[in-house]
Amino acid sequence: MHETITYEIMSLADMEKKFEGEWVLFEDPYLNEHKHLAGGKLLFHSKIRDEVDEVTMRLRPRHSAFLFMGSMQDNIMINL
């Protein structure tokens, strides 16, 4: 795994554009006026979910979120 940890504050819309088809991990997520997730401090991104999980376990950010930036296939099951 080639790992680059960043600390750039980005909006969710910018993450969706820049990291299409990737998982993103961000810290200190913030909400918009409608109480919807709007962005946060980007920590890591990867096309491989397991890499994001590994970085999350190592960094252990106190307040974080990770999302897939793209559409899921119909045959994919997500466990929350």
Question: Per-domain residue ranges for the chain?
Answer: 8-69
d(CA 66, CA 55): 11
> What's the angle, vertex CA 34, arms to CA 14 and CA 6, rounded to 5?
30
pLDDT for 77 beyond 60: no
> How confident is residue 14, by pLDDT bands cut at 50, 70 and 90?
very high
For the whole model, what pTM was predicted? Answer: 0.79
Q: Which pLDDT tens digit goes with each residue over 15-61?
A: 999 999 999 999 999 999 999 999 999 999 999 999 999 999 999 99
What contacts 12, CB < 8 A, 6 or more positions away? 37, 38, 39, 67
How many helices (H) and strands (E) the chain has is answered by 2, 4
Residue 68 has pLDDT above 80, yes or no: yes
If phi over 0 gives left and psi between -120 and 50 gives alpha, with beta otherwise, what is residue 17?
Answer: alpha
Q: Which two tokens stand for residue 75?
A: 């045959």
